[in-house]
Structure 1
Amino acid sequence: MPSDDSRTPFKDLDKDLGRIGSVEFAAQTVGRPLVAPAIAFAFIALAAAIASLFSGLTHTPLLIVVAAAMSAYMGLNIGANDVANNMGPAVGARVMTMGGALVLAAVSETAGALLAGGDVVGTLAEGIIAPDSVASPRLFIIAMMAGLVSSAVWVNIATFLGAPVSTTHSVVGGVLGAGLVAAGASAINWPMLGAIAASWMVSPLAGGAVAALILAFLEWRIVRKDDIIAAARVWVPASVGLMAGAFTTYIALRGLPRVVPISFLAAASAGVAAGLAAALASVPLVRRRAAGLENRKRALKTLFGLPLIIAAALLSFAHGANDVANAVGPLAAIVQVAMAGNVSADVALPFWVLILGAAGISLGLFLFGPRLIRMVGEEITKLNPVRGFCIALATAITVITASGLGIPVSTTHIAVGGVFGVGFYREWAEERRAKDKAPKEGDGEKKSKRQPAEERRRRRLVRRSHVLTIFAAWVITVPATALLSAALFVIINALD
């Protein structure tokens, strides 16, 4: 029998291999969180390199390179923050995996940006500042640069804190702060700014109210029925038709005006036609999918799952068409001023700038999006396919209504407000059902099944901490980006 001494070299070898394995594991643990930032930094550098190929056509090539890098940074942050509102409900309802949601969102966002992102960024920064009020092209470029950097930094901070914020409001705040310093208070369109401030309250309240109403209707007509499958055969096609009509109108209003002019009446007419066609086409499909399903609420996941996925894709398409300008609008303005040597309200959007924005949004979604997708879809309130469908449909309906009334609203605020709306509606419905179960006067010694108030508070269906965090981030978005932008303008102007 061999002695213990004969195995000593192998014991030492095992110990050495164990140490090496521990070092490799530690290196992987430390290095893994750095992979996404490293890829993001490489993309920003690539954007700067691409911009350098076009900067020779301008009078200030270095500024174009720096602005392109900052636009790439902004695009990454939009992808990390804003897209969560579109995909969060589908992931939270368990009708899509995180990987599937990321791929679908990236394809839809890119398609929306490239196909309907348009050739013109309308009035600069949503009409917040009059371009002709800026004293010189140099000051204008510095103001746009300060606004771009401040809005990107703020969205990055909000993403780190887990708060979905409006990138449009961030850009508006950035341009506002720099514009105040560059041109004074007289250059600011204060009525437009007041309307944007009002939308902080209107957007989430409207989105939440519409989502709650849709959920209440579907629970009344489908979920609470004795024969859920029979009710679903009637109302799921109607819901799909309403969704198709709403999103057709939504995309026509938010995307097509940048390609071909379209009136609200024409967009609404197209929506009605698309809705009727979709409702009729979905009747046999719903009947086929409903065949053999058990008469249980769980069956609704099969019937509402696909409509929710389609709704999420359409929301992402419309978002890419609309919000790509937030990433590249200031860059387009800087490029035009640098090439033409003058300031204009209508800003042409070069195609390479559009591609840069679309790529940044998609890459930011892949690298940093999952955290906020989980927060919106899983951590505010519990979602299922019916509730997720209500949120997506409410977002489209609310935006359409606001567009028709000429009210500026935030898609981000509406979508997150919809999540809050279905959660608070469920709390209200549970409370009402608990009151109905409580003993009436004259029931004798029958004890109430209603839980104590303390226990009901503990089992609330909406996390109040997220409500406070998100609302606080919304309120301070414009002031925070405005202050940061004003400070950056002063610094850049002093250094230039």
Structure 2
Amino acid sequence: MATDTPSKPEPDPDEGPRDFETPDPQDKWWHLGFGGLLAICLVTFTLWSFGWVSDGTNRVLLITAIVFGVFMAFNIGGNDVANSFGTSVGSGTLTMKQALLVAAVFEVSGAVLAGGSVTDTVRSGIVDIQVVNQSPDDLVYIMMSALLGAALWLFLATRMGWPVSTTHAIIGGIVGAAVTMGLKTGLGGLEMVQWESIGQIALSWVLSPLLGGVVAFGIFWLIKRFILSPAQDDREEGHYALQTLVPIVAAVAAIILAGMLLVKGLSNLEVAVDPVVIAFLIAMIGIAVWAAVYVFAKSLKKKKFKKAAFILFSWMQVFTASVFAFSHGANDIANAVGPFAAVLDVFRTGRVGESAAVPLPILITFGIALLAGLWYIGRRVVSTVGKRITEIHPASGFSAELGAAGVVMLASVLGLPVSSTHILIGAVLGVGLVNKAANWRLMRPIALAWVLTLPAAAAVGSVGYLVLSAVA
């Protein structure tokens, strides 16, 4: 049952009411500009694709694949990227426009610089379509159906304001289409599914939010107890806590985020670096951040404590959101790029390969579609994460983002089956529990959406395969 109105441990005294779901009427030029930019990119990319593939390619099928792929990237932006920026926008640290600009810099640069130049084409981690001798056309139909199935489910979830896993969605789409192909052709079927991986995904529904919630709860409880609470009685004590403890928190955050960036964000680059060098670089980053935050905190001594705390944690939250965006761009955009690159590779070579090249135009076009999705349809997910689960302010938002980043990094190192989306939602719940203001009623449809993501995308992917294989 939903609890009472959330408390506000560190609000901005100048803050007014925030409405994330209603677009500003003055934003019409942003709407027109993004629509025009996306249309230009789509046309330009389509023309480029005509020259990239072989001469005998079915251009109608190619255009359809492009639409499905860009639509998937659009919905990743509306759900996954909106989820990532929900705490920053919800806390008042960033406006939607500012979040869009941060995403434009870090999501796209993460995709382009660290997104990887090749991608697997025949494995999803849960279904192995190599167990049957599928034709190149079958692979095209499977991947196109998977993109459509995942994108339609993400679109529905986004419209409802449910943050869900895009990875689970694309896996579900591939499973549904691949199993349908096997059953239809008599070449295979359920044996293609790695059922132990289904169990791991089910485990992630519980493990991910639990880990995120526990870690974020601990971080925010410590911040509230030792940094925010002293200021209620003594202004000097509050500013002393800001100058001594916040730089330490910032340094620890920098170390965690640098580790996440190296472990997850840059994992696709496959660059061999001495672990000693990595440790040295991370340590230097931590020291530099400590010094910078210490100097910054001292410069805020003349301000009221609440205002100074708001400013400090706002900047720290922007930093965590930026690293999250870069890591997300480097990894999760592959949920759209991977299947589409497999389709494009078949159109180019006429055969099924174990991996496919990912040309730069794909990353740029899909990155822009990602941003357009955040702008056009991401507001409801932002509202869910940033306001409806619990009231978010800079210190609690920073705690949620840092807790999620730490769990993502630890899970990547240990190989735990977790979802970054589920981790962040758990982290938001964790900080809500510190304030005794978590909206448990809202978690019922969200949890149901998590469970339905894979089978719903699989069902649409299955139907999509039957239609494409019949008419193409």
Cα distance in 1 between the residues matched to 2:303 and 2:113: 40
Equivalent of 1:483 in 441, 459, 462: 459
Cα distance, 1:256 vs structure 2: 1.8
Aligned pairs for 1:52-451 within 5 A? 52-57=50-55, 59-122=57-120, 124-134=122-132, 135-183=134-182, 184-225=189-230, 226=234, 227-262=237-272, 270-289=281-300, 291-294=301-304, 296-427=305-436
- Please, what is the CA RMSD of the aligned residues? 2.7
Is the CA contact (8 Å cut-off) linking 1:48 and 1:69 kept in structure 2? no
State the 1:362 CA deviation.
1.3
Partner of 2:14: none
Offset, 1:124: 4.2
Distance 1:37 1:349 in 2: 24
Counterparts of 1:469-480 in structure 2, within 5 Å, are: 469-480=445-456
How far is 1:97 from its partner? Answer: 2.1
Contact 1:207 1:418 in 2 (8 A): yes
Distance 1:405 1:264 in 2: 20
Give me the whole-angstrom Cα distance separating, in 2, the residues matched to 1:462 and 1:40.
39
Q: Distance in 2 between matches of 1:420 and 1:288?
A: 33
Alignment partner of 2:332: what SS? helix
Contact 2:147 2:170 in 1 (8 A): yes
Q: Which amino acid aligns with 1:82?
A: D
Classify the secondary structure of the residue corresponding to 1:247: helix
In structure 1, distance between residues paired with 2:153 and 2:248: 41
Contact 1:79 1:361 in 2 (8 A): yes
Report sequence identity in percent: 34
Deviation at 1:269, TM superposition (A): 6.0
Task: Please say which structure displays the higher CA radius of gyration.
Answer: 1
Q: 1:322 to 1:344 in 2, by over 3 A?
A: same
In structure 2, C-alpha distance between the alignment counterparts of 1:37 and 1:473, rounded to whole Å: 29
Q: In structure 1, how many angstroms separate the alpha carbons of the residues matched to 2:37 and 2:388? A: 27
Q: How far off is 1:39 after superposition?
A: 5.8
Taking the aligned partners of 1:62 and 1:237, their CA distance within structure 2 comes to: 57
- SS of the residue corresponding to residue 378 of structure 2 reads helix
Indicate how the Cα distance of structure 1 residues 250 and 268 shifts in structure 2: closer, same or farther if over 3 A, else same. Answer: farther
Q: Is the 8 A contact 1:90 1:308 kept in 2?
A: yes
The CA deviation at 1:56 is: 4.1
CA distance in 2, matches of 1:44, 1:354: 11
Following TM superposition, by how much is the alpha carbon of 1:245 offset from its aligned partner in structure 2, in angstroms?
1.1
Query: What secondary structure is seen at the aligned counterpart in 2 of 1:126?
Result: coil
Q: 1:351 to 1:36 in 2, by over 3 A?
A: closer
Name the CA distance, whole Å, in 1 between partners of 2:309 and 2:195: 48
| Residues 371-427 of structure 1: per-residue CA shift (max 9 Å, x gap) | 322331122211111101001101110001101111132111111211111112321
Deviation per CA, 1:29-52: give whole Å up to 9, x if none: 9x99x9799769846852544433
* Residue identity in the other structure for 1:130: D
Partner secondary structure for residue 347 of structure 1 = strand
| Cα drift, residue 175 of structure 1 | 0.6
Shift, 1:144, TM fit:
0.8
Structure 2 counterpart SS, 1:121: strand
Contact 1:58–1:339 (8 Å) recurs in 2: no
- Pick 1 or 2: higher relative contact order, CA cutoff 8 A, min separation 6: 2
Q: Which runs of 5+ in 2 are unaligned?
A: 1-24, 183-188
Q: Which 5+ residue runs of structure 1 have no aligned equivalent? A: 1-27, 428-460
- Please give the secondary structure, in 2, of the residue aligned with 1:224: helix
- Given the two structures, how large is their TM-score scaled by the length of structure 1? 0.81
In 2, Cα distance between equivalents of 1:412 and 1:40? 28
The DSSP-based 3-state class of the residue aligned with 1:142 is helix
TM-score if structure 2 supplies the norm length?
0.85
Deviation string 1:138-178 (CA, Å, 9 cap, x unpaired) is: 11111111111100111001111111111111001101111
How much does 1:112 deviate?
0.9
Change (3 A) 1:260 1:328: same
Contact 2:121/2:353 (<8 A) preserved? no
Superposed CA deviations along residues 3-52 of structure 1, whole A, max 9, x for unmatched, are xxxxxxxxxxxxxxxxxxxxxxxxx99x99x9799769846852544433
Q: Is the 8 A contact 2:121 2:342 kept in 1?
A: no
Paired with 2:274 and 2:154, the residues of 1 have a C-alpha distance of 32
Aligned residues of 2:161 and 2:383 also touching (Cα < 8 A) = no
* Alpha-carbon distance change, 264 to 159 in structure 1, aligned in 2, over 3 angstroms: farther
- What is the alpha-carbon distance in structure 1 between the residues aligned to residue 350 and residue 374 of structure 2? 36
Counterparts of 2:62 and 2:198, CA distance in 1: 29
Q: Deviations over 1:299-353 (max 9, x none)?
A: 3102211111111111111111111111211110111122222222222212221
Q: Deviations over 1:233-259 (max 9, x none)?
A: 111111111111111111112232222
| Amino acid in the other structure paired with 1:315 | F
Evaluate the alpha carbon distance shift between residue 350 and residue 112 of structure 1 in structure 2; reply closer, same or farther with a 3 A threshold.
same
Within 2, Cα distance between the matches of 1:352 and 1:307?
33
Contact persistence 2:52–2:348 (CA under 8 A): no
Q: Which deviates more from structure 2 when the two are superposed, residues 191-200 or residues 380-389?
A: 191-200
Q: Deviations over 1:347-369 (max 9, x none)?
A: 22122211221111012122222
Alpha-carbon distance in 2 for matches of 1:193, 1:275: 39
Counterpart residue type for residue 174 of structure 2: V
Is this contact kept in 2: 1:74–1:152, CA < 8 A? Answer: yes
AA aligned to 1:246 is I
- Deviation at 1:206? 0.9
Tell me the amino acid that sits aligned with residue 113 of structure 1: A
| Matched pairs, number | 433
The letter for the 1-side match of 2:138 is L
SS at 2:124 equivalent? helix
